Chains A and B, each alone.
Chain A
Amino acid sequence: MDEAVRRAGRATRHLAVGFGLGCACYVLLGIVLVGLAATALVVGAGMLPETVMTVRRFAGFERRRVAARTGVPVPDSYPPLTGPLAERLRNATTDPSTYRDLRWVVAQLVYGLLLFYIALIVWVPALLVDAVWCGLCRRRPVALPVLDFLADLECVWARALLTPSDSAGLARRVEELAETRAGAVAAHGAELRRIERDLHDGAQARLVSLSMRIGLAKRAYDADPVAARALLDEAQDQAEEALAELRHVVRGIHPPVLTDRGLDGAVRALAASSGLDVEVVTAEGDTDGPRAPAAVEAAAYFAVAEALTNAAKHSGAERATVTLDRTPRLLRVRVRDEGRGGAEAALGRGAGALGAGPEHPLGTGLFGIRRRVAALDGTVRVTSPDGGPTEIEVELPCAW
């Protein structure tokens, strides 16, 4: 009997929290409606993704609650809400998880309140019935477990409403892969076009002009040696400029130091040439291990280069730490500086501010880094609260 009362008490507490959550859902529903209205009026478009995030937090709370009571975790599957506003809006409004959560919000509002009312009504009669049933007849309690049943019912409903379908998870993964693949193809194409343009406008043009000057010098050779000499001087200048441009293009494709020294050595070279005092930390024995695919190494290298450049330019830090880390399934690079932080806002502006414009060719700038990394199915995480520290973490999946 005591045990039954304790269990009923726990169940009632669960239902009470559910009731509170139901009330909160009522408010939340109001916020969602205001958010929708604000978005329709365009002015408050920024509010909707935030609202969706709040709904997710509520749903996350209920998932944890159900998991705690039943001992079985409730899976979730959310697309990240990051990037420029338009993208966040699109993700927030088109993803099935949003509608699944909203369905649960409405349902929780109804059954959260209802089940708690029922529990309150049931308590007194249940106590009386079981007092008689157990106390006088020495039987197992029958009425108090009803409260337990009500709490379990709440869990079952919440689980049913909040669990994404298997196919939804797979669909999400397929969508992600399709997206990163399209990104990879686009990035690759843009990269090829950039290289072609660089070579065409740069080295190639210079070589043509160089050849022309040599031709003119040959014609002038006998008649006007002074002019021939001047032409040859110009020709040599052109040749040197062509070489310098080729070097620049090569560096942008695949930095030679990466070939020579591997990621480890290349990152150390970056650290050495940075104006900051950079410490490079690598796990023991990593340098002798097999190397990551060239594209993965290059992405990691460019990410470190970009992070260190930003740190030197904007953070005000004197020191930075680069950590290279390998797990059997991925390569992790972390760049941390003790500067003033606040990079999140600057970096969060996304494509608009740091976009792949003419001055930011693909592969440079944080946008380029994100593209490069996303194309390899990796992730970029930036944490930079005001006052620092700033940490940029890049994870690139690869098998060793």
Chain B
Amino acid sequence: MRVVIAEDNALLREGLVLLLRSSGHEVAGVAATGPEILPLLVEQRPDAAVLDVRMPPGFRDEGLRAALEARVQLPGLPVLVLSQYVEETYAAELLGGGARGVGYLLKDRVGRVDEFLDALGRVAEGGTALDPEVVTELMSRRRRDDPLATLTPREREVLQLMAEGHDNATIANSLVITERSVHKHIGNVFTKLELPPSDSGHRRVRAVLAYLNA
């Protein structure tokens, strides 16, 4: 996989390059400032882009803006946005154009190398990777007559993992249950939340996120 990295901190940039190269990916280019990102993406047309939110020269949200712009200019380009902190609004903006090939993760997650590479792979294949912290925040919102309150703890866990963008096999693995029971739980969740039943894949993620974001 050819990946473009945008990260201003040299230490983290080198770390990411090392991590991707050592796991068999090609680093097609690195950007150290916000304005460099788009031209680099247009020139390289990578399989995926890993972008930091806060970049020079303004040290505000240049990386995020570049990601949004890239999704408009290069439709279908998978973008994984990394940030020192997560903000629901940013997630909503990123998912605004659909949940296909979008990732939004805390930088901390890079430390879990396998999980990070798994998320990057998912995004590159058109899936979604949403940071658990964002999903937790979304799920902890107070609503009137909250249907989320009717979910069993296990169903909540399943919903959380679904919203993060995992498929049934991964959900089954991380909860140490069979895929069949994952399937059953998902059915229950969709019934309780009154969502139309949906197969696995990005349509399901989008339905769940649309529900949580409402």
Contacts and interface: CB of A to CB of B under 8 A. Distances in A.
A236 B111 contact: yes
A87 interface: no
B122 interface: no
Interface residues on B, range: 20 to 34
Interface string A244-265: 1001001100001101110001
Given A240-B108, A275-B142, A247 B84 contact: yes
Interface in A231-281: 236, 239-240, 243-244, 247, 250-251, 256-257, 259-261, 265, 268-269, 272-275
B55 to A, nearest CB: 11
Nearest to A255: B85
B192 to A, nearest CB: 19
B184 interface: no
Given A247-B85, A269-B88, A273-B141, A259 B59 contact: yes
B108 A269 contact: no
- Interface size class on chain A is 20 to 34
Interface string A300-324: 0000000000001100001000000
Contact of B143 (A236, A239, A247, A275): A275
A274 B141 CA distance: 7
Given A272-B88, A273-B89, A261 B61 contact: yes
Contacts of A273: 88-89, 137, 141
Interface string B83-95: 0110111001000
A318 B142 CA distance: 10
Contacts of A259: 59-60
B59 to A, nearest CB: 7
A240 B133 CA distance: 13
Interface string A114-130: 00000000000000000
Interface in B91-138: 92, 106, 108, 111-112, 137
Given A272-B92, A273-B137, A256 B84 contact: yes
Query: Which of B85, B106, B144 has the most chain A CB within a 10 Å cutoff?
Result: B85
Contacts of B53: 260
Contacts of A318: 144
Contacts of B60: 259-261
Nearest to A265: B89
B54 interface: yes
A243 B85 contact: no
Contacts of A251: 85
Contacts of B108: 239-240, 243-244
Contact of A260 (B54, B88, B111): B54
Contacts of A239: 108, 111
The dominant DSSP class at the A interface is: helix
A74 B160 CA distance: 65
Nearest to B86: A247
Contact of B141 (A261, A269, A275): A275
Given A236-B112, A239-B111, A269 B87 contact: yes
Interface string B61-98: 10000000000000000000000110111001000000
B107 to A, nearest CB: 8
Most chain B CB atoms below 10 A, which of A259, A261, A272: A272
Contacts of B89: 257, 265, 268-269, 272-273
A251 B84 CA distance: 11
A260 B60 CA distance: 4
Interface in B143-178: 143-144
B152 to A, nearest CB: 22
A259 B87 CA distance: 13
Contacts of A261: 60-61
A247 B87 CA distance: 12
Nearest to B59: A259
B63 to A, nearest CB: 10
A260 B84 contact: no
B59 A257 contact: no
A312 B88 contact: no
A319 to B, nearest CB: 11
Contacts of A256: 54, 84-85, 87
A250 B83 CA distance: 14
Contacts of B87: 256-257, 269
Contacts of B59: 259
A273 B88 CA distance: 7
Nearest to B61: A260
Nearest to B62: A260
Interface of A: 236, 239-240, 243-244, 247, 250-251, 256-257, 259-261, 265, 268-269, 272-275, 312-313, 318
Given A269-B89, A272-B92, A275-B143, 13 more contacts: A236-B111, A236-B112, A239-B108, A247-B84, A247-B85, A256-B85, A260-B60, A265-B89, A269-B87, A272-B88, A273-B89, A274-B141, A275-B142
Ranked 8 nearest A-B pairs via Cβ: A275-B142, A269-B89, A260-B61, A275-B141, A260-B60, A243-B108, A273-B88, A272-B89
